[in-house]
């Protein structure tokens, strides 16, 4: 977390230096292509036991505003993933595999999210936003341990995720902006438990992550 705090401080200091350049006019980003960087925390919520859940994540982004309040973006990010589960819900001793279905997965991945975003102005060049997207994750590290013999599936080293997010964006001037966002991802099956909670729950154990991002982006040119 120290690294994340230092990066947030640097971002704030950098953006503060740019605030002096801010103009009174409202920035219209339509037709502009931005490139940037984002970093932050990653919380794994698909662990059921005492595994470490919080880690660092970061990446690069490209964002194009096809309308004043609408944009599409693509990113390349690094993050950690994981899941643990058992049918009986206890803090299981995985070594004896007493549960009918149980397992633990820990890994790392390169993620490529694509999303569409709607921004709504709050005050002058300060806006909130909502986003929806789809992401491809390619595992660079995959560790499976203590899986029950009943689970015989060969899990893929890539997966697809759905995600939604919200956040705040501030246009410092015509070219520079800073932002903060929260995103929730779900996807990638790593096992199955018996007895789903309802008819919509088939017991599959999906990878779930919550990412908190702080970032900076800059427009280098406009696209017609």
183-192 per-position pLDDT tens digit: 999 999 998 8
Please tell me the predicted confidence (pLDDT) of residue 7: 47
**Is residue 131 predicted with pLDDT exceeding 90?**
yes
3-state secondary structure of 2: helix
Please tell me the predicted confidence (pLDDT) of residue 151: 81
Please tell me the predicted confidence (pLDDT) of residue 20: 44
Mean pLDDT rounded to a whole number for the chain: 86
Residue 65: pLDDT band (50, 70, 90) is very high
Query: What is the C-alpha to C-alpha distance for residues 115 and 113, in angstroms, rounded to an integer?
Result: 7
Hey, which residues does 215 pair with through a beta bridge?
Answer: 38, 179
**Is residue 94 predicted with pLDDT exceeding 90?**
no
**Is residue 198 predicted with pLDDT exceeding 90?**
no
Query: What is the C-alpha to C-alpha distance for residues 128 and 180, in angstroms, rounded to an integer?
Result: 10
* Per-residue buried b or exposed e for 87-98, using 16+ beta carbons within 10 Å of the residue's own CB: beeeebebeebe
Mean pLDDT of 46-71: 95
**Is residue 180 predicted with pLDDT exceeding 90?**
yes
- Name the percent of the chain lying above pLDDT 90: 65
Query: What is the C-alpha to C-alpha distance for residues 72 and 80, in angstroms, rounded to an integer?
Result: 25
Query: What is the C-alpha to C-alpha distance for residues 53 and 159, in angstroms, rounded to an integer?
Result: 20
Which region among 22-26, 43-47, 124-128, 170-174 has the lowest average model confidence (pLDDT)? 22-26
- Confirm if 30 and 52 have CB atoms less than 8 A apart: no
Please tell me the predicted confidence (pLDDT) of residue 145: 87
139: Cβ contacts below 8 Å, ≥ 6 apart: 81, 107, 108, 109, 157, 158, 159
Please tell me the predicted confidence (pLDDT) of residue 121: 94
Residue 150: pLDDT band (50, 70, 90) is confident
């Amino acid at each position: 977390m120290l690294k994340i705090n230092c990066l947030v401080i640097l971002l704030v200091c950098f953006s503060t230096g740019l605030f002096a350049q801010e103009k009174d006019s409202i920035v219209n980003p339509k037709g502009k292509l931005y490139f940037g960087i984002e970093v932050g925390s990653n919380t794994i919520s698909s662990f059921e036991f005492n595994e470490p859940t919080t880690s660092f994540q970061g990446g690069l982004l490209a964002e194009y505003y096809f309308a004043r309040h609408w944009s599409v973006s693509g990113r390349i990010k690094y993050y950690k993933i994981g899941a643990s589960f058992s049918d009986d819900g206890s803090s299981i001793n995985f070594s004896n595999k007493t549960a009918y279905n149980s397992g633990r997965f820990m890994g790392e991945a390169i993620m490529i999210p694509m999303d569409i975003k709607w921004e709504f102005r709050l005050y002058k060049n300060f806006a909130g936003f909502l986003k929806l997207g789809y992401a491809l994750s390619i595992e660079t590290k995959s560790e499976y341990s203590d899986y029950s013999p009943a689970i015989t599936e060969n899990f893929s080293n890539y997966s697809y995720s759905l995600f939604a997010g919200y956040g705040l964006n501030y246009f410092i001037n015509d070219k520079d902006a800073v932002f903060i966002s929260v995103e929730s991802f779900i996807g990638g099956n790593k096992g199955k438990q018996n007895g789903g909670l309802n008819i919509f729950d088939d017991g599959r154990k999906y990878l779930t992550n919550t990412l908190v991002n702080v970032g900076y982006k800059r427009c280098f040119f406009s696209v017609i």
